[in-house]
Amino acid sequence: MLVSSLGSATGGLILYLTFHYLGWGQIAAYYPDLPQSKAWADATRWVSAYGTWALLGFAAAPLPQTPALIFTVSRLPVSEVFLALFLGKLLKYGLYGWLAAEFPSWFQRFAPIGEHKHQIRTP
Residue-level pLDDT at 90: 94
Residue-level pLDDT at 3: 92
Q: What is the pLDDT of residues 38-75, one digit of tens each?
A: 877 777 788 888 888 888 888 888 876 666 676 665 67
The residues, any chain, with a CB within 8 Å of residue 12's CB and separated by 6 or more, are 59, 65, 69, 81, 82, 85, 89
The residues, any chain, with a CB within 8 Å of residue 56's CB and separated by 6 or more, are 84, 85, 87, 88
Report pTM.
Answer: 0.70
User: Where is pLDDT greater, at 72 or 116?
Assistant: 72
Across 101-105, average pLDDT: 78
